[in-house]
Structure 1
Amino acid sequence: MSTRSLGPTGLDVHPVGLGCMGMSWGYAESQRDDEVSLAVIRQALDAGPVLLDTADAYGDGHNETLVGRALALAGRRHDAVVATKTGIVVDDLATRTLSRDGSPEHIRRSADASLKRLGVDVIDLYYLHRVDPAVPLQESWGALSELVRAGKVRHLGLSEVTREQAAAAHRVHPVAAVQSELSLWTREPLDPGTGISGWCAAHGAAFVPFAPLGRGFLTGRYTRPDDFEAGDFRATNPRFTGAAFTANLRITDAVRKVAARHDATAAQVALAWTLAQGGHVVPVPGTKQPRYLTDNLAAAALRLTAADLSDLDGAPAATGSRY
């Protein structure tokens, strides 16, 4: 199995990780099944070492607990690189009302709580989930670096930051990874002037795309705006509603044409395009279904041609904002 280096951590992981958020909240919550999710995580461990991506905000702790249960039941801690996050607070779980808290006090408390829920002695990769505008980034990052010195965290990452913010943090303590959305319908991180992927490549950090399948849209499984149940994040997301949904089907058409050339799934093509953006890229597509995890992991073996990449790069930009 080929692997990719997770930035300067010395950790090699499967090129495709597993985003665990949807197992707890956000998407099709009526289909949530913890036992199936546990099986999916164990399946990912079979392909290990694999990057498991969670956060304390996902289900207000439920997702970390789920990942911790899977690791304990499988007895496979060595096959997982565990990444979690701090800095977002769930104010109301039912409405998914969130706020930010990047204070050193909150970071220290949430790290201890995450360690307990995950059932691990150390967090492999700990992200600042979002920069708190009320707290200087250097203060938040300084508190995170203290956790490294205390042995509670191995490496630090940032989520959804600018190049300038990444550089400011890097001057305090090395940035091992930056997470942000990247897919065929969210390509801003690749901008040569402002994109964060280029900053990561230049500074030896990993770039970890979340939602590399466009929150499921790029798989081609959804054909109408009303495909989503009430409460699903996508039911009111601008890219999934009304005329925007119809316009964005042009992107899935481009993916489908390339998939037909390779006898591959649309998901595999979308992931292979993401992987082709650089050897420092380790996407974490989310799923809670074993068959989709099998598809996603197999994308690492799909080699797109120059013509394939040109056709995909030529797909139209997405209609509608990300949030």
Structure 2
Amino acid sequence: PQRKLGDVSVPTIGFGVMGISIGYGGIDTDEQRFKILDAAYAAGCTFWDTANVYGDSEDFIGKWYVLSSSGSRSKIFLATKFGLTMGGARGDPDYVKEQCELSLKRLSVDYIDLYYLHRVDPNTPIEKTVGAMSELVKYGKVKHLGLSDCTAAGLRRAHAVHPIAALQIEFSPIMLEVEKPPLQLVDAARSLGTKIIAYSPLGRGFLTGQIKSAEDLDPDDFRRTVPKFNAANSPKILDLAAKIGEIGQAHNATSGQTTLAWILAQGEDFFVIPGTKKIKYLHENVEAGSLKLTTHEIAEVRRVAEAAEIPGDRYGARWLDMTYVESPQL
């Protein structure tokens, strides 16, 4: 299934490419990583999401393009991001243009379908950042603009400079804060016609029910540092995953598939970009695109999600401080 994003139709279930390069424990061989990109392409899962800070992810996609069949570029809706650095968020105009050129080179492409400001620069008015991004559109280097983890006010300010096609936010049954005050990002996006791209839609894998505890993960897996995935919460998240799985049983769907279908059922403006390193899970995720939950089932997932008390931040302090930042006024 596809939905409109900007002026094109894009698969509702995309592929978050970060995990094949960074953050989620050991990195597979290049051969294995090529195979998962091949599998995504073959399955029609052609909305790929990466960023300039995801290890060698951009370079690796670039290698894949060079080695893959001719014509593959035009069939992939490619999203990447800039603005997140080890020293904080950056969005000054010169940096915007410099990073776009570097991403184009690494990806071995001459345009980017969707270019996101990854985090808002607390020192640069967002109008200046988006003004520089809009020039990239004018020169044909970028087709659509997006923002990630901004505020509702920031989204409106950005949209006043150039249409913002997509807002990328963490959204899942264990991460519903973006709907509610004070953030109200879903309402803000809808008021502007901006599409909503849900990242970590499976609760970084925990809503599949396959991870018993963060302690089971590789020592260098970043999820071990996430407060929400603390030992006290593990049984609560597993319980929620099991309840979602029960709701999906009528469709022979897994808890992960039911979760993805539920997010897509929030509206025609929602997309999901789950990531995985395993081809079998990629196919499982893609199959969720044809799963249609009943009105009662949609309400039931929300009921069990709202009832689950799973406190804790979604990032450690260092990364959390870069989310939902207001930029200075012009």
1:194 positional shift? 4.2
Partner of 1:63: 57
Q: Is contact 1:37-1:289 (8 Å) kept?
A: no
Contact kept in structure 1, 2:45 and 2:286, CA below 8 Å: no
Q: 2:9 aligns with which of 12, 20, 39?
A: 12
Choose the corresponding residue for 1:23, options 20, 23, 29.
20
Task: Name the residue aligned to 2:296.
Answer: 307
* DSSP 3-state at the match of 1:42: helix
Q: Which runs of 5+ in 2 are unaligned?
A: 316-330
Q: Pairwise mapping of residues 108-123 of structure 1 onto structure 2 (< 5 A)? A: 108-123=97-112
> In the alignment, residue 319 of structure 1 is paired with which amino acid?
P
1:145-199, CA deviations, whole angstroms, 9 ceiling, x for partnerless residues? 1111121111100000111110000111110100010001001223388422222
Counterparts of 1:156 and 1:237, CA distance in 2: 29
Structure 2 residue aligned with 1:181: 170
Residue in 2 that maps onto 1:95: none
RMSD: 1.6
Q: Which of the residues 38, 41, 65 maps onto 1:42?
A: 38
- Deviating more after overlay: 66-75 vs 207-216: 66-75
Take 2:279 and 2:34, find their aligned partners in 1: how far apart are those partners?
10
State the partner residue of 2:249.
260
Q: Among residues 62, 66, 70, which one is paired with 1:72 in the alignment?
A: 66
2:195 aligns to what?
206
The residue matched to 2:115 in structure 1 has which SS?
strand
Q: 1:81 aligns to what?
A: 77
Deviation at 1:224, TM superposition (A): 2.6
Deviates more, 1:233-242 or 1:112-121: 233-242
Matched, 1:148 2:142: no
Shift of 1:202: 2.6
TM-score calculated relative to the size of structure 2? 0.90
The residue type equivalent to 1:10 in the other structure is D
- In structure 1, how many angstroms separate the alpha carbons of the residues matched to 2:261 and 2:205? 15
| Aligned amino acid, residue 84 of structure 1 | T
SS of the residue 1:282 aligns to: strand
Once the 2 structures are TM-superposed, how far is the Cα of residue 305 of structure 1 from its aligned partner?
A: 1.3
Counterpart amino acid of 1:12?
A: S
Q: Which residue is 1:163 aligned to?
A: 152
* Rounded Cα–Cα distance in structure 1 between residues aligned with 2:64 and 2:10: 18
Q: Deviations over 1:266-307 (max 9, x none)?
A: 110110011011101111001121111100111010111122
Deviation digits for residues 237-292 of structure 1, max 9, x if unmatched?
11222212223223112112113222111110110011011101111001121111
Distance apart, 1:107 and its partner CA: 1.1
Q: Which moved more, 1:266-275 or 1:308-317?
A: 308-317
What corresponds to 2:327 in structure 1? none
Tell me, yes or no, if the aligned pair for 2:16 and 2:274 is still in contact at 8 Å.
yes
Q: 1:17, 1:283 within 8 Å by CA — same for their partners in 2?
A: yes
Q: Distance in 1 between matches of 2:272 and 2:184?
A: 16
* TM-score, normalisation: structure 1: 0.92
Q: Secondary structure at the match of 2:160?
A: helix
What are the within-5 Å matches in structure 2 for residues 178-257 of structure 1? 178-191=167-180, 194-257=183-246
| 1:51 equivalent in alignment to 2:47 | yes
Secondary structure at the counterpart of residue 168 of structure 2: strand
Contact 1:13 1:49 in 2 (8 A): no
Name the aligned partner's letter for residue 59 of structure 2. Answer: T
Q: Paired residues, what number?
A: 310
Ranges of 4+ aligned residues in structure 1 off by more than 4 Å: none
